[in-house]
């Protein structure tokens, strides 16, 4: 995945076919996804008396914050400045990168240590710094693993979830010049030893932000490894990149969202480290940064906020549970989406951040099963939003999404869906169609094999799909189902 956002449909299709053909990737993803889902389900059923009620409260908190976002942002800025925090506003990734680079340049800094930050991935900070001759070192274990092999995160919470311990052992042996091991404790030890040397003399640390509290002018960081605490307190200068949607009104609101986020993300009741930063080191304090800078990043979020329906995606608390439950994501992995934010939430926010013309194809990577909407802790109607973005992609929406005018319309797709809708909305045509398919099924299968060989549109579809068995039993079931529907 490069900083160049434009990808053709063929690049998407080739990427999907490649990752579908990676059997080890699919095994790794299934194992990890099953574990995360199981842990989440068990925790919610044993530790929470009213999880659904808590979701309702979380949704209300985020919707209220978004409704009052301009005022809350100004309040946060005012309170943060009172506490000695420097607040910067970045319209887009270019401005955000320049702000961070200029800070580093002023202080003569050539190396920056990073805690986990998807916002920094969104603005392609590492690639920008590389061009400027500044070294950016990832300190999150998952981020470190993929940085060593020059890959982007595959997941918004667990960036190296597609690698098993044997693969990680090989990555460390090759890139860190250590003896191969696949023992998790030893792998953690290798990473710790490597990063401790980097932490000794670094001057600038960078992190993301989970919650920015308007009433207090403080930021809240969640993490499990301690690297985020090191990156934010052991340096002279701490820079935090904060998407403007991360603003909440109070600590009480943040606590409720935290109670929803952590179980949804990892299946644990609480993270190992909760870092609340309310300003730089005071004269009588022994540790903490001398300067704290918070960058409030827009990057088309204001346009999302102005949309009557799509603004709901800004409620996302980045737990990643929609990815964990997505039957498409766990087959192809995050890299197939060719953009920073993959999975269901990525299909909604990426076209709106990076442009529908650049990321519109992502909306095809959804079965509309609705699992993401059912599991989202703040009840974002993700499946509905994906469906509506599909209508935008083919030119049938309101036309307000970034990149709408430059979207590559597929007239064949529009025609096919128009004809399908005529059949799907007519009981008679639907029944006749299934009867004909039942009769023609053997011929279709023979024709399909020829199409696969020819690599036609139908053939490409069949590379990763199986035609259903249209036998008498299925036909009878369909007939009974249609009878129920139309009686």
Distance CA 194, CA 276 (A): 27
- 287 CA to centre of own chain: 33
Which pLDDT tens digit goes with each residue over 35-44?
999 999 999 9
Residue 107, pLDDT > 50, answer yes
Which pLDDT tens digit goes with each residue over 268-319?
999 999 999 999 999 988 889 999 999 999 999 999 999 988 999 999 999 9
Percent of the chain with pLDDT over 70: 89
Distance CA 448, CA 136 (A): 50
Lowest-pLDDT range, 195-199, 310-314, 417-421?
417-421
Is the pTM higher than 0.85?
A: yes
Q: How many CB atoms lie within 10 A of CB 306?
A: 10
Lowest-pLDDT range, 36-45, 104-113, 250-259, 462-471?
462-471
Distance CA 150, CA 247 (A): 32
Residue 190, pLDDT > 70, answer yes
Residue 27, pLDDT > 60, answer yes
- 98 CA to centre of own chain: 24
**Which of 2-11, 206-215, 433-442 is most confident?**
206-215
Sorted by sequence, the CB contacts under 8 Å of residue 298 that are 6+ apart come out as: 89, 90, 91, 92, 244
Mean pLDDT of the chain: 90
Distance CA 472, CA 342 (A): 40
Distance CA 479, CA 171 (A): 55
Sorted by sequence, the CB contacts under 8 Å of residue 342 that are 6+ apart come out as: 154, 155, 156, 323, 329, 333, 334, 335, 336
Residue 485, pLDDT > 60, answer no
Q: How confident is the model at residue 2 (pLDDT cuts 50, 70, 90)?
A: very low
Closest-CA residue to 247 (of 207, 290, 294): 294
Q: What's the DSSP call for residue 110? A: -
Residue 477, pLDDT > 60, answer no
Phi, psi of 469 (to 5 degrees): -80, 105
Phi-psi region of 403 (alpha: psi -120 to 50; beta: other; left: phi over 0): left
Q: Which fold has domain 50-299?
A: Rossmann fold (3.40.50)
The ranges assigned to domains in the chain are: 1-47+323-409, 50-299, 415-480
Q: 481 or 59, which is more confident?
A: 59
Residue 31, pLDDT > 70, answer yes
Percent of the chain with pLDDT over 90: 74
Q: How many CB atoms lie within 10 A of CB 190?
A: 17
Which pLDDT tens digit goes with each residue over 389-413?
998 988 888 888 988 877 776 667 6
Predicted local distance difference test score (pLDDT) of residue 431 = 85
Q: How confident is the model at residue 173 (pLDDT cuts 50, 70, 90)?
A: very high
Distance CA 220, CA 231 (A): 14
Q: Are 333 and 29 in contact (CB under 8 A)?
A: yes
Residue 145, pLDDT > 90, answer yes
Q: What's the DSSP call for residue 293? A: E
Residue 127, pLDDT > 70, answer yes
Residue 438, pLDDT > 80, answer no
DSSP states of 204-219: EEEE--SEEETTTTEE
How far is the first Cα of the chain from the last one, in angstroms, to the nearest whole number?
A: 51
Which pLDDT tens digit goes with each residue over 338-393?
999 999 999 999 999 999 989 999 999 999 999 999 999 999 999 999 999 998 98
Phi, psi of 319 (to 5 degrees): -85, -25
Lowest-pLDDT range, 22-31, 74-83, 326-335, 438-447?
438-447
Q: Are 58 and 377 in contact (CB under 8 A)?
A: yes
């Amino acid at each position: 995945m490069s900083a160049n956002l434009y990808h053709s449909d063929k690049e998407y299709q080739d990427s999907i076919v490649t990752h579908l053909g990676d059997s080890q990737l699919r095994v790794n993803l299934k194992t990890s996804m099953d574990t995360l889902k199981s842990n989440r389900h068990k925790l919610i059923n044993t530790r929470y008396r009213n999880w659904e009620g808590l979701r309702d409260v979380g949704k209300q908190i985020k919707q209220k914050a978004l409704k009052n976002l301009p005022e809350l942002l100004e309040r946060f800025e005012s309170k943060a400045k009172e506490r000695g925090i420097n607040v910067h506003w970045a319209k887009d990734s270019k401005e955000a990168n320049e702000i961070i680079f200029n800070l580093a340049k002023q202080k003569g800094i050539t190396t920056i240590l990073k805690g986990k930050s998807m916002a920094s991935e969104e603005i392609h900070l590492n690639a920008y710094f590389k061009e400027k001759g500044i070294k950016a070192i990832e300190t999150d274990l998952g981020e470190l693993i993929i940085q060593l092999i020059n890959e982007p995160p595959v997941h918004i919470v667990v960036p190296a979830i597609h690698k098993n311990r044997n693969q990680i052992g090989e990555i460390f042996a090759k890139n860190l010049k250590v003896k191969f091991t696949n023992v998790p404790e030893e792998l953690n030890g290798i990473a710790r030893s490597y990063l401790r040397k980097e932490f000794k003399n670094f001057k600038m640390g960078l992190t993301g932000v989970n919650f920015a509290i308007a009433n207090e002018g403080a930021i809240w960081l969640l993490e499990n490894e301690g690297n985020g605490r090191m990156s934010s307190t052991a340096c002279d200068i701490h820079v935090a990149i904060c998407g403007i949607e991360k603003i909440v009104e109070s600590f009480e609101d943040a606590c409720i969202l935290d109670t929803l986020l952590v179980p949804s993300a990892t299946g644990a009741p609480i993270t190992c480290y909760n870092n609340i930063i309310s300003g730089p080191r005071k004269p009588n304090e022994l540790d903490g940064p001398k300067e704290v800078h918070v960058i409030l990043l827009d990057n088309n979020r204001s346009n999302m906020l102005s949309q009557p329906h799509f603004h709901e995606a800004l409620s996302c608390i980045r737990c990643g549970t929609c990815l964990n439950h997505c039957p498409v994501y766990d087959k192809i992995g995050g890299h197939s989406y060719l953009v920073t934010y993959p999975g269901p939430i990525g299909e909604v926010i990426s076209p709106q951040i990076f442009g529908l013309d650049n990321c519109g194809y992502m909306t095809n990577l959804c079965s509309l099963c609705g699992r993401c909407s059912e599991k989202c802790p703040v009840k974002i109607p993700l499946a509905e939003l994906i469906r509506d973005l599909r209508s935008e992609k083919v030119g049938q929406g309101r036309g307000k999404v970034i990149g709408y005018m430059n979207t590559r319309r597929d007239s064949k797709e529009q025609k096919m869906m128009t004809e399908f809708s005529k059949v799907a909305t007519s009981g008679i045509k639907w029944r006749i169609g299934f009867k004909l398919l039942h009769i023609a099924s053997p011929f279709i299968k023979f024709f399909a094999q020829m199409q696969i060989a020819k690599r036609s549109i139908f053939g490409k579809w069949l590379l990763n799909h199986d035609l259903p068995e249209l036998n008498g039993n299925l036909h009878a079931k369909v007939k009974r189902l249609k009878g129920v529907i139309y009686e």
